[in-house]
Amino acid sequence: MNLRNIAIIAHVDHGKTTLIDVLLKQSGAFRDNQRTEERMMDSNDIERERGITILAKVTSLVWKDTRINIVDTPGHADFGGEVERILHMVDGVILLVDAAEGPMPQTKFVLGKALKLGLKPIVAINKIDKPEQRADEVLDEVFDLFAALDANEDQLDFPVLYGSAKQEWMALEPNGPQDSMDPLFDMVLDKVSPPEAQPGDFRILATTIESDPFLGRILTGRIVSGTALPNMPIKALSRDGSVVENGRISKILAFRGLERQPIEKGEAGDIVAIAGLTKATVADTLCAPSVNESLQAQPIDPPTLSMTFRVNDSPLAGTEGSKVQSRVIRDRLKKEAEGNVALKVEDTDEPDAFVVSGRGELLLAILIENMRREGFELGVGRPRVVYQYDDAGNRLEPIEEVIIDVDEEHSGVVVQKLQERKADLLEMKPSGGGRTRLVFHAPTRGLIGYQSELLSDTRGTAIFNRLFHGYEPHRGPIQGRHTGVLLSNGTGEAVAYALFNLEDRGPMMIDPGTKVYPGMIIGEHTRGNDLEVNVLKGKQLTNIRSAGKDDAVKLTTPKKLTLEAALSYIADDELVEVTPDSIRLRKAVLDPHERKRAERAANKESA
């Protein structure tokens, strides 16, 4: 059967997963009476809850006697490691662009990677049913982006489609027939070349990894040369050509719609999943025993942020989670780093702490969220940027390109706040509908915790996008959090009466009845210093009653922080305690006397 391998790339929320739903339906991959869900490719719980794609996934469909393998890719820059790996599995890409927003930072990132590999994109301008659509301007912006990314002449002569994945149509003109996806299918067959098989014995580069309770480790990739047969002896080679392990193929699985089905033979050019090996991982070459050279794997951009994961040592440790030992946490982190090449795990001098480095806050927050759902308890430190040094020994820090779409009335405060965080304003232009688009180059450390502040400053109307730009000389100190915190000075359950009397000190972060311990953060102080308070003090009861003295206590709604907000809120001497049931903020050193000694030592060092 004829084959085509394509990936769908786009910025987050431009409609990749919805488009794949429609392609599967219209190609006849499902029975008429088969029950299907929205965003079928978003398979895990967090993807469904947040409406984002985290893992690259493969599906396939048949159109006019041609099997089309389609890879759905993540849209967030934090998961760029997934996109970089899968692009060398395909022979063409569909670049999806929102007809109102136009090309965004992640569009630029994934398109740059695709053009570098020599792929020829098909541009699909999606969401043309939006009242604020500006398809013609967006097409000009896409062409300018291709030119800025040094596309060659063939790549600049890209075909264009217009349509709405939600309304299930694509056409060659903005006002073309709105009845089906046939023009997109036909364009894929016409413009994407079939995969070319290289001569030689069986070779496949492992691109994604997953674990199956029955089959064990499953590695997915595109067969470069030769054929794969069940029970065939193979070996795994690492990037440098050394043998990782020898084994046999226990099963070959091919993608058929949303299912993976066993097949008797995997042919060159097809994307398949192979089971049977126990040690091979992503970027390894699986091959016949006669092959001695590994396939070239795509280099992955370096991590820009790191966090310290440590064993939970709070007084409430072990009361909510079942996995609390350092050995269990270390094994889980190492397993995650095997499958996600954008993640790096290192041991530290302390036996109970590990440094985990990744592409961004969201990537690390998703890892923590997955771990807490599996029953882990952790203490997590504040994200820190990963510095590099040039030949002269000067410190370089990661810089990000930041694009903010904001109402004109709020643009002044956004520019002021980002300049305080050492950002340079590059461009300021109208983006339609009374909104302004601001483009900055900002240091990554200045953006930690900025998103929640941005939403407060703009009343929730700003759209914030960021993308790693490169390393530049260090831009000097950036002021951290302006406020101190309120700390509990006792162990027990918080009392409503005590919280009510503390409200003039600052907003609370806990409800009455919450378990507290000394050193736990229970609220934000309105001043710059930390303050220890008693949240366990109940009302003194007497037998004298007077009118109006015993009214019910009315508390202000506490300021509850999500996991990402908590990670960006804490200071360097604080931790987020993460358990399956709770997210608590605390000081790294719980004992007040030891904490003061540590502060004095830190001040001496800085002096």
Amino acid at 332: R
Q: Domain total for the chain?
A: 3
DSSP secondary structure, 94-157, as one string:
EEEEETTT-S-HHHHHHHHHHHHTT--EEEEEE-TTSTT--HHHHHHHHHHHHHHTT--HHHHS
- Amino acid (one-letter) located at 367: L
Write down which residue in 191, 212, 235 finishes a domain. 191
Residue 580 forms part of a structural domain: no
The DSSP-derived string for 415-433 is HHHHHHTT-EEEEEEEEET
Q: Is 501 a domain residue? A: no
Residue 126 labelled as part of a binding site: yes
Residue 531: half-sphere exposure toward Cβ, Cα within 13 Å: 18
Considering only residues 399 and 197, tell me which one the structure prediction assigns the higher pLDDT. 399
Mean pLDDT of 17-37: 65
Tokens (6 digits) for 318: 């072990």
Judge if 131 and 252 occupy the same domain.
Answer: no
pLDDT confidence of 487, banded at 50, 70, 90? very high
Spacing of C-alpha 373 from chain mean position:
17
The last residue of one of the domains, among 237, 270, 287, is 287
Q: How many alpha carbons fall within 13 Å on the CB side of residue 192?
A: 29
**What does the pLDDT read at residue 36?**
47
393 assigned to some structural domain: yes
The size of the chain, in residues, is 607
Q: What are the respective helix, strand and coil percentages of the chain, to the nearest 5? A: 25, 30, 45
- The answer to whether the CB of 578 falls within 8 A of the CB of 372 is yes
Residues 208, 150, single domain; the answer is: no
Average pLDDT for 308-327: 88
pLDDT of 157 over the 50 cut: yes
Q: What is the pLDDT of residues 350-363, one digit of tens each?
A: 888 999 988 777 78
179 part of a folded domain: yes
**In this predicted model, which residue has the larger pLDDT, 452 or 268?**
268
Task: Tell me: is residue 292 an annotated ligand-binding position.
Answer: no
Among the listed residues 164, 158, 154, the one whose alpha carbon sits nearest the alpha carbon of residue 126: 164
Share of the chain above pLDDT 70, in %: 89
**Same domain, yes or no: 180 and 227:** no
- 127 known member of a binding site: yes
Residue holding tokens 């226990």? 250
Say if residue 14's pLDDT is above 80.
no
Question: What are φ and ψ of residue 460, in 5° steps?
Answer: 75, 10
- Considering the domain architecture, whether residues 143 and 111 belong to the same structural domain is answered as yes
Task: State the residue for tokens 């794997």.
Answer: 297
Q: Between residues 532 and 49, which one has the greater pLDDT?
A: 532
Closest CA to 362 of 461, 466, 206: 466
Asked whether residue 507 is domain-assigned, the answer is no
Tell me if 483 is assigned to some domain. no
Q: With 50 as the cut, is the pLDDT of residue 561 above it?
A: yes
> Do residues 186 and 216 share a domain?
no
Per-residue pLDDT at 402 exceeds 80: yes
For every residue of 157-199, DSSP letters joined together read S--EEEEETTTTEEESSTTS--S-SHHHHHHHHHHSPPPPPBS
Residue 447 amino acid letter: L
Report residue 27: phi and psi, to 5°. Answer: -85, -5
Same domain for 47 and 113: yes
Same domain, 22 and 150: yes
Name residue 360's amino acid: G
Q: Is 129 annotated as a binding residue?
A: yes
Same domain? For 166 and 276 the reply is no
* Burial (0-12, 13-18, 19+ Cβ within 10 Å), 65: exposed
- Check: CB of residue 130 under 8 Å from CB of residue 102: no
Residue type, 339: G
Domain assignment present for residue 456? The answer is yes
Q: What is the pLDDT of residue 521?
A: 92
**Beta bridge pairs of residue 464:** 404
Residue 249 CA to residue 235 CA, distance in Å, equals 10
Q: How far apart are CA 411 and CA 405, in angstroms?
A: 9
14 is in an annotated binding site: yes
Which CATH number does the domain housing residue 253 bear? Answer: 2.40.30.10
- List, as own/partner pairs, every contact residues 527-532 make where C-beta atoms lie below 8 angstroms and the sequence separation is at least 24, other chains included: 527/483, 527/484, 528/482, 528/483, 528/484, 529/484, 530/484, 530/485, 530/486, 530/487, 531/484, 531/485, 531/486, 531/487, 531/505, 532/486, 532/487, 532/488, 532/489, 532/592
Name which of 513, 522, 402 is nearest 462 in CA terms: 402
Q: What is the pLDDT of residue 299?
A: 65
Between 5-9, 25-29, 44-48, 557-561, the lowest mean confidence (pLDDT) is in 44-48
Residue 204's beta-bridge partner residues? 223, 286
Cα 451 from Cα 178, distance rounded (Å): 39
pLDDT level of residue 441 (50, 70, 90 thresholds)? very high
pLDDT at 1 over 70: no
What pLDDT does 39 receive?
A: 45
The per-residue pLDDT for 38 is: 47
Is 18 annotated as ligand-binding? yes
pTM: 0.77
Question: Domain ends where: 161, 191, 221?
Answer: 191
Reported as a pLDDT band with limits 50, 70 and 90, residue 52 is: low
Q: Do 214 and 70 fall within a single domain?
A: no
For position 51, what pLDDT does the model report?
Answer: 54
CA neighbor of 196 nearest in space, from 130, 106, 111, 267: 267
Q: Which CATH number fits the domain that encloses residue 461? A: 3.30.70.240
Q: At what angle do helices 411-420 and 450-457 cross, to 10 degrees?
A: 150
* 483 annotated ligand-binding residue: no
Distance of CA 184 to the CA centre of its chain: 29
If asked whether residues 86 and 174 sit together in one domain, one would say: yes
Contacts of 563 (CB under 8 A, 6+ apart): 365, 368, 369, 576, 578, 583
d(CA 216, CA 6): 28
The answer to the question of whether 120 is labelled as a binding residue is no
Compare 486 and 110 and report the one with higher pLDDT: 486
* pLDDT tens track for 72-100: 777 565 565 667 677 878 888 888 888 88
Q: Tell me which residue range forms the domain holding 420.
A: 389-473
Q: What is the pLDDT of residue 41?
A: 47
Whole-number pLDDT of residue 33: 43
Amino acid at 598: A
Kindly provide the b/e burial profile for residues 511-543, where b requires at least 16 CB atoms within 10 angstroms of the residue's own CB.
ebebbbbbbbbbbbbeeeebbebebeeeeeeee
283 and 395 in one domain?
no
**Is 528 within the bounds of a domain?**
no
> How does DSSP assign 431-460, residue by residue?
EETTEEEEEEEEEHHHHTTHHHHHHHHTTT
CATH of the domain at 104: 3.40.50.300
Residues 11 and 123 in one domain: yes
DSSP 296: P
SS3 category, 212: strand
